[in-house]
Chains A and B, each alone.
Chain A
Amino acid sequence: MNIIVCMKWTPDTSEADLTVSTTAKDIKKDDLDYDMNDWDRFAIEEAAQIKEKVGGKVTVVSLAPEESEDMLRECLARGADEAFQIWSDQMEGGDGYAMASVLSQFIKGRPHDLILTGTLAEDDGAGQLGGMLAAMLDIPSATLVSKIEIKDQKASFVRELEGGLYESMEMDLPCLIAVATGLNEPRFVSIRAVRKVTSIEIPNVGIDEIGIDVGKVGQSGARVEIEQVSLPPEGEGAEIIKGKPEEAAARLAEILKEKGAIG
């Protein structure tokens, strides 16, 4: 069983004050801390658990600059056998399609029975990569998967639908599964667990080594062009309530009463 997990390195925007960059095509990312896409944390856990059950090898790959090494090392501590970092400066500015092109070229060259991705990435939230990657590799795929079982060269899985419905399905291997969060309980990675895998080398692969055309990566390979990124305009009549939580809550209740929302 060869499992490949695609891992995205995403900026943590939860506690940051976001500002738009000078080009207006992105947000300013210099001050942001980057980390593993939370959806992918469930993908690597699932890969490790499948390996523990049926045996095999788990490979993690991320298209991300060198600083992402800590994330990849954490993947090794989570149970991956090897991790690859793919980056060349030309890859800057790529969209989901360009990234999928690089990944498919990399994956084609190695044995793969199951490819796991997250359904979404926390940053741009496009949810496209999984499907496109499967199409490029010409293998079946499914998204938002909340349970996986591997048996007899087949993957049985469950998808969560709207309204609390579940859908059970089956696909032949090789296939690609984009996982939902919550399909397992990701393990905790201690400092010692990371230290145990310090000696494993994480190869840095450039696009020339993968053998992909420069024209297919980065901005030139992208099919989506971002025209402008902007913060939502401050609406008319919007009031930011300042002060201690209690005071703010009291003020909010007052406004709601004034406007007749509560009695």
Chain B
Amino acid sequence: MNILKPADAPILGAPAPAIAFIILFLSVAFFCYVMFRRLDVLRKAAPDPRFSNISTRLLRALMYGFGQWRQPRYLGAGILHILLFAGFMILSLRSLTLIGRGFSPTFHIPFLTGSVGFAYESLKDYTVIVVLIVCLVAIVRRAVFHPKRYDHPGTAGHEYEAYVILGLVSALMITDMIHDGSAYRASGVCGEYHWFPAAAFASVFMPSNDPATLNFLHVGGYWAHILFFFGLLNYLPISKHFHVITAIPNVFFSNLNKGTIKPVRYGTVDWMELDQCGVSDLTGFTWKHILDFYSCADCGRCSDNCPANTVGRALSPKMISVKARDYAYENFPVFDKTSKDPAHEKRLVGDIITEQEIWACTTCGACEAECPIFIEYIDKIVDMRRYLIDRGEVPQSLQKPLQQIKKKGNAYGAMKSKRAAWTKDLEEFQVHILAEGEHSDLLFFVDSCGSFDPRIQEIAKSFARIMARNKLDFAILGQEENDSGNEVRRLGEEGLFEQVSGRNIEAFKARNFEEIVAFDPHAFNAIKNDYPEPFKVIHSSQLIYRLLSHGVMSLNGEYLGGRVVTYHDPCYLGRHNGIYEEPRRVLKSIPGIQYQEMTRSFSRSFCCSGGGLLLWYENEEEKERMGERRVKMAMEIGAQVIVTACPFCLINIEDAIKTTGNEGKIEVIDLVELIDRSTS
């Protein structure tokens, strides 16, 4: 039989193309209006220059957007998502075709004719099956296994959204199958089921010689499909599924400057003169940060990897996005022209996103490394901290160290004049303090921890010994050195960061050296990424690797004595600066080393609770220390020595070994110390 085409079947007397036109027009108009209202909020937001390096951005969008590169970090869910996303891409042409078929029964996308058209039709049919199966698996996964990362603690009514969308997509697939299945049944080409499995499968349930039913299914399936399609399209920008539209632009506009913090406000010459410093409300964020809120898919991968969340602190990065998006939808609604005056509402920063959440972040970057669509958290948290700092609302435990840095250039409250006192314990040689105008090849930036913390002074001494033994020409700044300012900046005290970094920069410029070397990744990061003037800076692990590869240094395995060794990636060396390999190569050049990798390593490394000033931060909510969790991870793989390359990791983990009662079973040591002890 010849099946009745939807475009030829009037509805309640009205010609089908007219109905198709009305549906198309209303849906697209509504969609455009909602999009306009949503994007209008971005227009009101703070500036953010994200149009540089277009080629890099395109590449990113291609690789991580279309290529879904980060998805398989969660293998099961990742594969499901890749299949779904590929399905969407393939079926988008089908949807266009179907919209056109409402106007003309023979409508085709120009190049999709003949054998290409046939191949596409077949591919589409397979895709429909795959997408339907993926949706069913996803529904079962959520309903039966309840992965914890999908929860929305503290807010109500978000869980159902996933079911709505999965239901809509399934409905699209099923109506497509009904539409095509009825035609398949009517044409009687049963032998071609391997070309059109979806249609063939659907047709099994249809009568073979009942033209009226087949026509009804064909036309009805069509219109149901069209309605579901436009329903889905319009549901996206009012739900968490906005990411379907915004994710790829979000990846395109993602942050290209890793390791640094955004200025207080882009395009402002003197931020100190601004009426307000930092972010207190939605439109105080940059437009890209609001796009982030829109784009979050609630997948929970960020929070699943967030150390603060893991140990029970108030912070869940995903919930920052969810709450901010709820706030945006509520305060800039689609239909209410007059956006509510946020002054009379709950404050976004303080009430909805609480101070506890804001201070709980260690800026470790695990969330950002994980997010499949490059949503940023550190800059937002720092922006909110800037606001709290400006209002003087700072946890008491952090006030003293910040004041000490302001007055003495170090959080320890030690006298400036004692900054080089640690060198006096070195008997074999003297560490030169570089005076203005003098030259040395290397400028060793010790930072406050190396200068004043007795435990970390040991690393400073080891490092000085390594350099002296290898006849390197190095010197320190002595009392002209100030705190690097890495944590000061990340705690939001921009003015103080400018003060300490300014003093260091002055001291650098008054002296001659080839490069700066630091064993503290925090100092290394600040000088490399935050300081407004470029200085060549390397990390101790890079210097040691260089010495080893030049063959000037030889190591022995005596100190390790056959113990099982693992390496803990410090956040500011690994995630923020991509230095993963050098420390491992150095370790692996120790003869006879028994090396074992932890499950959470490289970009998934687990933060030890943060460095610099965060050492002073007291958190009352956490049930466990991050360091303790880390020690357990090392014990699980049978490690007896944890090597790290950051003084703060060392302190946190060393404490944790004691508090978990593992003294004598496992040891933590800095790479620099290990190399010092493994050199003959």
A residues in contact (CB < 8 Å) with B: 12, 14-16, 31, 33, 35, 78, 185-193, 195, 244-245
Indicate if B408 sits at the interface (CB-CB under 8 A): yes
Given A15-B415, A31-B417, A192-B390, are A186 and B495 neighbors across the interface (CB < 8 Å)?
Answer: no
Q: Would you call A190 and B496 a contact (CB within 8 A)?
A: yes
Q: Would you call B495 and A190 a contact (CB within 8 A)?
A: yes
Chain A at the B interface: SS class: loop
Q: Would you call B417 and A191 a contact (CB within 8 A)?
A: no
Q: Would you call B417 and A189 a contact (CB within 8 A)?
A: no
Q: Would you call A15 and B392 a contact (CB within 8 A)?
A: no
* Min C-beta distance of A100 to chain B, whole Å: 29
| B contact residues, total (Cβ < 8 Å) | 29
Given A15-B414, A33-B415, A245-B454, are A192 and B272 neighbors across the interface (CB < 8 Å)?
Answer: yes
B360-400 Cβ-contact flags toward A at 8 Å (1 or 0): 00000000000000000000000000000111111010110
* Min C-beta distance of B384 to chain A, whole Å: 15
Q: Which residues of B contact A185 (CB under 8 A)?
A: 396
Alpha-carbon gap, A31 to B408, bound state (A): 13
Given A33-B407, A245-B454, are A191 and B496 neighbors across the interface (CB < 8 Å)?
Answer: yes
Alpha-carbon gap, A193 to B278, bound state (A): 13
Q: Would you call A195 and B495 a contact (CB within 8 A)?
A: yes
Interface residues of B in 174-216 (CB under 8 A from A): none
Indicate if B481 sits at the interface (CB-CB under 8 A): no
Indicate if B122 sits at the interface (CB-CB under 8 A): no
Who on chain B is nearest to A194 by CB? B495
Indicate if B412 sits at the interface (CB-CB under 8 A): yes
Q: Which residues of B contact A195 (CB under 8 A)?
A: 272, 495
Given A35-B407, A244-B454, A245-B454, are A189 and B412 neighbors across the interface (CB < 8 Å)?
Answer: no
Alpha-carbon gap, A107 to B494, bound state (A): 38
Interface residues of B in 225-243 (CB under 8 A from A): none
Who on chain B is nearest to A16 by CB? B415
Contacts A78-B392, A191-B495 aside, 7 further interface pairs with beta carbons under 8 A come to: A187-B392, A188-B393, A189-B392, A190-B392, A190-B496, A191-B406, A191-B493
Alpha-carbon gap, A12 to B407, bound state (A): 11
5 nearest A-B pairs in the assembled complex, by CB-CB distance: A191-B495, A187-B392, A188-B394, A188-B392, A192-B495
Who on chain A is nearest to B402 by CB? A188
Alpha-carbon gap, A186 to B499, bound state (A): 23
Indicate if B634 sits at the interface (CB-CB under 8 A): no
* Min C-beta distance of B461 to chain A, whole Å: 12
Which listed residue (A16, A31, A78, A193) contacts B390, Cβ 8 A? Answer: A193
Q: Which residues of B contact A15 (CB under 8 A)?
A: 412-415
Q: Which residues of B contact A14 (CB under 8 A)?
A: 413
* Min C-beta distance of A241 to chain B, whole Å: 14
Who on chain A is nearest to B452 by CB? A15
* Min C-beta distance of A139 to chain B, whole Å: 31
Indicate if B291 sits at the interface (CB-CB under 8 A): no
Q: Residue among A15, A186, A188, A195 with the most chain B CB within 10 A? A: A188
* Min C-beta distance of B620 to chain A, whole Å: 14
Interface residues of B in 474-521 (CB under 8 A from A): 493-496, 498-499
Q: Would you call B389 and A190 a contact (CB within 8 A)?
A: yes
Which listed residue (B399, B412, B454) contacts A188, Cβ 8 A? Answer: B399
* Min C-beta distance of B589 to chain A, whole Å: 29
Alpha-carbon gap, A176 to B448, bound state (A): 42
Q: Which residues of B contact A33 (CB under 8 A)?
A: 407-408, 415
* Min C-beta distance of A234 to chain B, whole Å: 23
Q: Which residues of A contact B389 (CB under 8 A)?
A: 188, 190
Q: Residue among A185, A191, A195 with the most chain B CB within 10 A? A: A191
Q: Which residues of B contact A189 (CB under 8 A)?
A: 392, 403
Who on chain A is nearest to B391 by CB? A187
Q: Which residues of A contact B413 (CB under 8 A)?
A: 12, 14-15
Indicate if B277 sits at the interface (CB-CB under 8 A): yes
Who on chain B is nearest to A182 by CB? B396
Q: Would you call A31 and B495 a contact (CB within 8 A)?
A: no
CB pairs A–B below 8 angstroms (25 shown): A14-B413, A15-B412, A15-B413, A31-B417, A187-B391, A187-B393, A188-B389, A188-B392, A188-B393, A188-B394, A188-B399, A189-B403, A190-B389, A190-B392, A191-B406, A191-B493, A191-B495, A191-B499, A192-B272, A192-B277, A192-B495, A193-B390, A195-B272, A244-B454, A245-B454
Q: Which residues of B contact A187 (CB under 8 A)?
A: 391-394
